[in-house]
Structure formats: structure tokens, C-alpha cells
Chain A
Amino acid sequence: MCTYLTSTTALEGASKGAQGWFRLTSAMAYFDHPYHSPHEHTLNIDFLNEDEGPAARVAVELTADSARALVRCIEDALAAAGPAATSPLPERGST
């Protein structure tokens, strides 16, 4: 399978990559071939700062069930924080 399907969103935050910490501007997620994982397909997430070049990237390759578990984990963490866990998303580039 080679889906080519890619979902992207604007983000605000920070991530630590090979060159240290950098500001995040976006992320893309796609269920397709991984680069490193031995699985045939994984849910891949790239956390990016396009302004700082292609190396400003943190890559994650998760099995489908792992990705769903992560989604639940994030939702649980946000729900537990209640009203404090709100902030406006940046306007750029969400699709």
C-alpha cells in the first residue's frame, strides 16, 4: 500500500530534534511507508518548522493501534486539565 494521503495542521509549540530545541509551526500525519520502522505501514507524524529547513523535524512512526492509543492518551491528558487546557491555534496552513 502506498496511500500518498497526507493530513497537515498548523501548530504552536516546541520540539527537540537532532540540532536541539526548535519552535514548531506545523505537523503532518500520514499512514504510509515508514523510513525506519520495520512495519509495512505506520502512522507517521512529522513535527516541523518549515522556516528553519528540512532538518528542523521530529519524526515519529507508530503502528496504527499505537497511534490510536496516543490520541486517547492526549485527549485524556487534555480532559484532565480541564478549562486550563485551551489555547488558540495559529492561523496558518491548517488543512
Chain B
Amino acid sequence: MSLRLLLVEDDRELRATLREALLVEGYQVLTAASLAEAHAMYGQTQLGESAAPAFDLILLDLGLPDGDGSELLVKLRRKQSTPVIIISAREAEGQKIQLLDEGADDYLVKPFSIGELLARMRVALRHRGNQIRAAVTRYEQGDLVIDLANHRVSRNDELIHLTPTEFNLLARLVRSAGQVVTHRQLLVDVWGQEYLEHTHYLRLYMGQLRAKLEDNPAEPQLLLTEPGVGYRLLDTRD
């Protein structure tokens, strides 16, 4: 059975274009043009299949005629973990970070290419699967192998030594490989709540990790920076 998507977008042209493109990719696409419509859609399908989540993924625009898309995100997150990708014309980093911290899986600023959207969707869907299956413990990209279970990082079978903090940071990124992890999430998960303001720790340790793992640290290919938001470990299938 094909995956079911809910596309919440008020602009008719963009909605139609995205719907066509996603249909071509084999997804089953339902669309909503407003918050109320999205709620209704969600309620209806929920009635039919009460046990399973109504959709496999939601693409959510923020500026909707009857409210802000983030309201739907917050309501949704109280009940379930359906992946949500925000698509919005708003570029302010602050909001991006807030939505990611509130549980959005990714954030795409309009305009974006279909290729970019599909890649982000693939990552988000894979991580949804992870919550049911075992968590990611192994990351392979080129010569590099990161084995979280055995605390081993190697390239061409050659062991790379990492300090405990470096390893924890890398492990956090591996668990969300392909997804943006905000500064806040990294600082809280690796150092602890009281280190929220210490963004400079991240700069330091990411620099060290890149020096050890990247071929050319000046032009990183694995440990990617999302300026002003956070970091993303390259998706293994990209």
C-alpha cells in the first residue's frame, strides 16, 4: 500500500504542483487549504482507522487563512509522532528553531525544489520507521563506519580516536542522520539543560570532529552546518 500524505497549503497553484509531483512519486496525497479543513480531514480519517495514525507524513504550510500551521503541529504532537515537514515562506531562524524544537521533523523555506522536498521526506519517513524498529546504531558513508553499539569509529578499518564528548555529539547526530538537529537539542542531549547558552562548545567540538572525520574540514561533506539553526549529518542515501 502506498504512503498517505496530507498536504496543507493554501496557495492553489503550489498545492496543485506539489500534489502532481508527489503523485508521480507514488504517494497517495490528500490536500487541505486551511487549518479547519486539515482538522476535519484528520478527524474523518481518524474515525475510519482509529488505531493507526491517519497519515504517514504531513506537509504543513504555516501562514494559513484561518490560523497558523504551528497550531496543528502542537495539537498533533500531543497525540502522535507522525512526521511533519514545515513548508513556509518565513525565513526567520528563530521560528525555524522553535518549530524544530516543538517537534517538526524538518523545515523547508519556499521556494524549494522537488528533489529537496523528496529527500527530506525520505529521511523523515525513515526516522518514523526507526521508532518502531531498532534505533540506528550504525552509520556508513564511503570509507567511514560509525558503530555506536561498540563505540567504534573507523575509516578504511583504521580506528579513529574520539574523546567521550566528541563521541556523544557524533552519536546524537547519527541517531538523527539526515535530519537537522538544533543547537538546543544538541546542547541539552550532550551536555545538559544548563549548557543551553554554550553554543561555542558546539563550534569547538564540531571543528574537532570535522578535523578527524572529514577529508577536507574546510569544505565538510558529512557534518553539515545549517546556519543559525543547527547541524545535520549527511543522509547515508544522499
**A and B assemble together:** no
